[in-house]
Amino acid sequence: MRLSKLAEQIQTSPILTIAAEINARNAKGESIYNLTVGDFDPKIFPIPDALTVATIKAYRDHQTNYPGAFGLPRIRDSVARLLNRTCGLDYQAEDVIIASGSRPVIYAIYRAIVDPGDRVVFPVPSWNNEHYASMLGAEAITVETTPESNFMPTAKNLAPYLDNAVLLALCSPLNPTGTVLSKEVLVEICQLVVDLNKKRSTDEKPLYVMFDQVYWMLTFGNTGFFHAVRECPEIRDYAVFVDGMSKAFAGTGIRVGWATGASHVIAKMVSIIAHIGAWAPKPDQVAVGEYLAMDAEVDMHLQNFRTALEARLDGFYAGFMSLKEKGHDVDAIAPQAAIYLSVKINILGRETKQGGSLQTYDDVQRYLLDTAKIGVLPFSWFGAPDYGNWFRISVGTCRLEDIEGIMLRLEEALNCLK
CA distance 31 to 343: 22
Rounded percentage of the chain residues whose pLDDT exceeds 90: 91
CA distance 240 to 391: 29
The pLDDT value recorded for residue 13 is: 81
The pLDDT value recorded for residue 353 is: 82
How much is the pTM?
Answer: 0.95
Letter string b/e over residues 145-174, b meaning 16 or more CB atoms within 10 A of that residue's CB: beeeebbbbbbebbeebbeebbbbbbbbbb
pLDDT average, residue stretch 135-143: 96
CA distances to 40, 91, 236, 305 from 95, rounded to whole Å, are 30, 6, 11, 28
What's the pLDDT tens digit per position in 77-118? 999 999 999 999 999 999 999 999 999 999 999 999 999 999
Pairing status of strand 119-124 against strand 390-394: unpaired
Whether the pLDDT of residue 39 is over 80: the answer is yes
Rounded percentage of the chain residues whose pLDDT exceeds 70: 100
Round the average pLDDT of the chain to a whole number and report it. 95
What's the pLDDT tens digit per position in 166-221? 999 999 999 999 999 999 999 999 999 999 999 998 899 999 999 999 999 999 99
The pLDDT value recorded for residue 388 is: 85
Whether the pLDDT of residue 9 is over 90: the answer is no
Whether the pLDDT of residue 20 is over 80: the answer is yes
Whether the pLDDT of residue 417 is over 90: the answer is yes
CB-based burial of residue 117 (10 Å sphere; 0-12 exposed, 13-18 middle, 19+ buried)? exposed
Structural domains of the chain in order of their starting residue, each with its CATH number? 5-45+299-415 (3.90.1150.10), 49-294 (3.40.640.10)
pLDDT average, residue stretch 358-366: 92
